[in-house]
């Protein structure tokens, strides 16, 4: 019988171990949220861990929506302190937070990110307008008589006679991606508004307007290439005819392999995204739980490191990673707010 | 076989269809061989492409620079205390060392690209060297420091002309690189950093150590739980439990559990271990428990098969000389079934080692730069590291990803080897 006792003891000890560790103290900052902000957040976290005596913050890439779900699940050590987001927090998410006792949230804008449409370097560069993008990629397009017809454009020339006679083949992220949401909102919608009658729909029927402008065609011209932007860059390198949709930081790292198309006559350069003349760019944020500021060691300092000149000002180390910093005035106002940890109103 | 076909032995009229049947056999053998060849060629393709990209992760480029560590330039007085050494501004020392080599006049913008040739790694290298050898302070030391990832990739890819055209180094940097190379200041060395450091956002500093420790912890917990619980459950079900509807019902459920997608176990872990028991997020303890849930059905099934394979005569002989059921099972049946049980456990562990999906839900897919030292600290795991690096924009991570896959493969190979050795040992 003696032999059977040993495994039984092991189970008992394993169970008691799990019960005793219920009480734990967290001494590192926990960050969740957008995969677009993740590369920047982690760089700050690493620098912060190396240059201070605090532990390196743990950064999870859960996507913006998933991040807010965790962030708003309550106050306490079991919940994250910071949520990264590639869009502003929605009112429904603020309500969810409030319902779970997360009342005071500090909003911090980090900078901007551009979304580019690029093809392999070495072949002709595309000069697109948002109207071209809409007509090439939307599921249904205007038929010229104030109604919609299924998109039957095969080549870029069908869309706009000034464009090359090349097959429409665009590699982009799937619908679950924040980049795809932003692309639909910024590029497709602005092209969609070029048609007056669709623009008029917006006031009458917002849902229908969204359905027209945000639906991407499913007949093979738009190819869902997964969330991995590196993969899209590699595929462009192999397929010279295709265009790809990805974030500016990936363009920045692969300038030798791919070139970005101009959109509405504006090049996807650092300067154009910073001053807003490049149409397809979006602000990036993170949100801080105010109740945790005093409870979690290093949280206050981590936030201050993020907004420090070293990190997010022009020529800061985040710029090297492809983040587009805010202009001087906008930044000054923000830093002023963040240093005092002013809550969102 | 040719003899059988010879007309003298058996005529086709005596054995109708014999020619056709032989032909069928030949066809089957050919198809079987083709199937093996196809799967082997896939494996070979995978290995060649992974090794082809991944070997670079184990090499790093170093630049030789003269570092001015005299007391004057450090602004220190003799003798330097430990605190002084910790507070030395290594970044600016590395930068001025670069300026000493490239003497031409460069503007501010260009100077930044010059400093960019020695990355963050050089700073940490220098600090480690100085902390280890404080006697260097007061001298001008000639040291090899790790280059930035762009220089590293340029150096490793310099065999082909295409890589010279496709590089992230600017023309100016390429010129400087040529100057450095002409002076014999560039060498390629083994990348120990890759095995001794943890995750980082700088490819030249990043390593798999933290992920390896995390995997080790999680697998330890998983082994303990799934081995003990799984083997006991199997022994009870096979040797002690009565055969009735209940045990049949259990059996069907265990078989079904083995086929459940692994992410489901992550959801279960999130709800029970994190939600109900309040265990910390991202901890290797929880990771191990979730992986144990996943491997349990596999362990139970393979252990039961192993127990079934023990001849009934062994049990009968034990009973015959007056052994109790427990004695018969634990003194005779389990030791004989051990090779099979162990194989099942180790193969289950090998599967757990390569799993990421269940870890996603419990927060182990995260940027974790500090290697864990206890089971409750945040930890990542090897496959998670592969996943995270594959998604990073920096070019240098491509080879690091393949390198991490190689490390993972080596571990899997070792575990399978262990399974073979243990089986041999117990079969004697």
Among A275, A280, A285, A276, CA closest to A87: A285
Cβ contact B228–A3 (<8 Å)? no
B166, B272, B289, B366: best to mutate for the A interface, most A CBs within 10 A = B366
C-beta of residue B102 within 8 angstroms of C-beta of residue B114 = yes
Q: What confidence tier does A23 reach under pLDDT thresholds 50, 70, 90?
A: very low
A114-281 shares the fold of A26-113+282-339: yes
Q: What residue of B is the nearest CA neighbor of A3?
A: B330
At B382 the pLDDT is 93
Cβ contact A229–B369 (<8 Å)? no
**Vertex A278: Cα angle to A274 and A283 (nearest 5):** 55
Helix residue ranges per DSSP H, chain A: 2-20, 38-51, 64-71, 91-99, 130-137, 156-159, 178-183, 189-192, 196-204, 206-214, 229-238, 248-253, 270-274, 299-307, 309-312, 317-320, 328-339
Average pLDDT over residues B138-150: 86
Task: Tell me the two tokens of residue B380.
Answer: 């990542």
**Which residues lie below 8 Å from residue A341, measured CB to CB, with a gap of 6+?**
A106, A288, A290, A293, A300, A303
Average pLDDT over residues B38-53: 93
What are the pLDDT digits (tens) for A215-229? 888 888 898 887 778
What percentage of residues in chain A have a pLDDT greater than 70? 92
The CATH fold of domain A26-113+282-339:
D-Maltodextrin-Binding Protein; domain 2 (3.40.190)
A12, A56, A257: best to mutate for the B interface, most B CBs within 10 A = A56
What are the pLDDT digits (tens) for A37-58? 998 999 999 989 888 889 999 9
Task: Tell me the two tokens of residue B327.
Answer: 């004695």
At A1 the pLDDT is 39
Task: Tell me the two tokens of residue A324.
Answer: 């587009």
- Nearest CB to B279; choose among A7, A18, A321: A18
Average pLDDT of chain B to the nearest whole number: 86
Q: What confidence tier does A3 reach under pLDDT thresholds 50, 70, 90?
A: very low
The model carries a pTM of: 0.81
Average pLDDT over residues A150-176: 87
Average pLDDT of chain A to the nearest whole number: 84
In sign, the C-alpha dihedral spanning B70, B74, B78, B84 is negative
Q: Which string of DSSP letters, residue by residue, matches A202-218?
A: HHH-HHHHHHHHHPBP-
Task: Return the higher-pLDDT residue of B406 and B75.
Answer: B406
B358 interface with A at CB cutoff 8 Å:
no
For the domain made up of B209-427, the CATH class stated in words is mainly alpha
Instruction: Name the DSSP class of B310.
Output: S
The domains of chain A are located at: 26-113+282-339, 114-281
- Nearest CB to B366; choose among A17, A26, A58: A58
Q: What residue of A is the nearest CA neighbor of B391?
A: A228
CATH for A114-281 is 3.40.190.10
Residues of B in contact with A1 (CB under 8 A): 326
B394 interface with A at CB cutoff 8 Å:
yes
Cβ contact A253–B393 (<8 Å)? yes
- Nearest CB to A4; choose among B224, B330, B388: B330
- Nearest CB to A22; choose among B279, B391, B398: B279
Instruction: Specify the 3-state DSSP secondary structure of B148.
Output: coil
Q: Is B399 exposed, middle or buried (0-12, 13-18, 19+ CB in 10 A)?
A: buried
What are the pLDDT digits (tens) for A71-97? 999 888 888 999 999 888 888 999 999
Instruction: Assess whether pLDDT exceeds 70 at residue B348.
Output: yes
Which residue has tokens 């029970």? Answer: B272
Q: What confidence tier does B180 reach under pLDDT thresholds 50, 70, 90?
A: confident
Task: State the ipTM, two decimals.
Answer: 0.78
Instruction: Assess whether pLDDT exceeds 70 at residue B50.
Output: yes
How close A38 gets to chain B, by Cα (Å)? 9
How close B41 gets to chain A, by Cα (Å)? 23
B325 interface with A at CB cutoff 8 Å:
no
Cβ contact B365–A61 (<8 Å)? yes
Average pLDDT over residues B180-194: 88
Average pLDDT over residues B33-50: 95
CA atoms within 13 A on the CB side of B258: 15
A8, A20, A21: best to mutate for the B interface, most B CBs within 10 A = A21
What are the pLDDT digits (tens) for B107-128? 766 777 888 888 778 888 888 8
**Vertex A208: Cα angle to A203 and A211 (nearest 5):** 130
C-beta of residue B368 within 8 angstroms of C-beta of residue B206 = no
The domains of chain B are located at: 56-191, 209-427
């Amino acid at each position: 019988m003696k032999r059977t006792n040993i495994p039984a003891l092991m189970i008992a000890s394993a169970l008691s171990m799990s019960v005793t560790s219920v009480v734990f103290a967290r001494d590192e900052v926990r960050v969740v949220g957008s995969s677009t902000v993740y590369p920047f957040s982690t760089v700050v976290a690493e620098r912060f861990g190396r240059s201070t005596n605090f532990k390196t913050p743990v950064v999870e890439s859960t996507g913006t929506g998933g991040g807010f779900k965790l962030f708003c699940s309550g106050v306490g050590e079991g919940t994250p302190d910071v949520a990264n987001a590639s869009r502003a927090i929605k009112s429904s998410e603020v309500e969810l937070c409030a319902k779970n006792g997360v009342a005071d949230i500090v909003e911090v804008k980090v900078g901007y990110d551009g979304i580019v449409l690029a093809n392999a370097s070495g072949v002709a560069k595309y000069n697109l307008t948002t109207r071209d993008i809409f007509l090439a990629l939307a599921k249904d397009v205007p038929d010229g008589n104030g109604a919609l017809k299924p998109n039957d454009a095969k080549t870029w020339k069908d869309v706009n006679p000034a464009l090359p006679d090349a097959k429409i083949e665009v590699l982009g992220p799937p619908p679950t991606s924040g980049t795809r949401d932003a692309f639909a909102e910024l590029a497709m919608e602005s092209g969609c508004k070029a048609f007056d009658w669709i623009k008029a729909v917006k006031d009458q029927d917002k849902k229908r307007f969204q359905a027209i402008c945000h639906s991407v065609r499913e007949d093979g011209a738009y190819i869902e290439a997964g969330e991995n932007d590196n993969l899209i860059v590699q595929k462009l390198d192999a397929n010279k005819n295709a265009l790809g949709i990805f974030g500016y930081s990936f363009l920045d790292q692969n300038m030798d392999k791919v070139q970005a198309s101009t959109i509405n006559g504006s090049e996807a350069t650092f300067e154009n995204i910073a001053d807003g003349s490049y149409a397809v760019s979006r602000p990036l944020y993170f949100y801080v739980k105010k109740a945790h500021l005093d409870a979690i060691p290093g949280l206050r300092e981590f936030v201050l490191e993020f907004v420090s000149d070293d990190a997010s000002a022009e020529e800061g180390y985040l710029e090297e990673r492809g983040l587009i910093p805010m202009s001087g005035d906008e930044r000054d106002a923000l830093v002023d707010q963040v240093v005092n940890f002013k809550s969102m109103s | 076989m040719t003899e059988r076909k010879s007309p003298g032995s058996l005529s086709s009229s005596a054995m109708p269809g014999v020619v056709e049947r032989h032909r069928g056999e030949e066809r089957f053998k050919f198809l079987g061989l083709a199937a093996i060849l196809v799967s082997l060629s896939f494996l070979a393709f995978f290995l060649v492409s992974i090794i082809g990209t991944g070997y670079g992760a184990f090499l790093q480029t170093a630049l030789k620079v003269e570092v001015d560590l005299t007391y004057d330039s450090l602004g220190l007085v003799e003798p330097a205390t430990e605190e002084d050494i910790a507070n030395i501004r290594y970044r600016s020392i590395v930068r001025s060392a670069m300026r000493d080599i490239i003497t031409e006049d460069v503007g501010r913008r260009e100077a930044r690209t010059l400093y960019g040739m020695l990355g963050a790694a050089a700073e940490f290298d220098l600090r480690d060297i100085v902390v280890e050898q404080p006697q260097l302070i007061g001298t001008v030391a000639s040291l090899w420091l790790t280059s930035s990832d762009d220089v590293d990739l340029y150096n490793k890819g310099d065999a082909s002309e295409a890589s010279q055209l496709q590089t992230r180094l600017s023309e100016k940097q390429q010129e400087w690189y040529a100057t450095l190379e002409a002076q014999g200041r560039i060498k390629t060395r083994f990348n120990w950093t890759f095995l001794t450091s943890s995750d980082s956002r700088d490819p030249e500093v990043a390593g798999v150590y933290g992920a390896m420790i995390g995997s080790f912890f999680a697998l330890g917990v998983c082994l303990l739980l799934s081995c003990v619980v799984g083997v006991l459950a199997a022994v009870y079900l096979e040797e002690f439990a009565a055969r009735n509807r209940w045990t049949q019902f259990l059996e069907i459920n265990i078989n079904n559990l083995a086929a459940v997608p692994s992410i489901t176990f992550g959801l279960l872990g999130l709800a029970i271990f994190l939600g109900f028991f309040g265990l910390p997020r991202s901890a290797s303890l929880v990771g191990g428990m979730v992986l144990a849930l996943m491997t349990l059905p596999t362990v139970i099934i393979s252990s039961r098969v192993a127990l079934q394979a023990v001849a009934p005569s062994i049990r009968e002989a034990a009973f015959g000389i007056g052994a109790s059921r427990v004695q018969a099972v634990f003194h005779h049946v389990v030791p004989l079934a051990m090779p099979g049980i162990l194989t099942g456990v180790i193969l289950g562990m090998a599967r757990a080692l390569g799993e990421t999906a269940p870890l996603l839900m419990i927060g182990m897919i995260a940027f974790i730069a500090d290697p864990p030292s206890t089971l409750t600290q945040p930890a990542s795991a090897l496959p998670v590291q592969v996943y995270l690096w594959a998604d990073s924009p920096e070019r240098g991570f491509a080879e690091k990803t393949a390198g991490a896959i190689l490390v993972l493969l080596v571990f899997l190979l070792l575990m399978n080897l262990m399974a073979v050795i243990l089986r041999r040992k117990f079969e004697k």
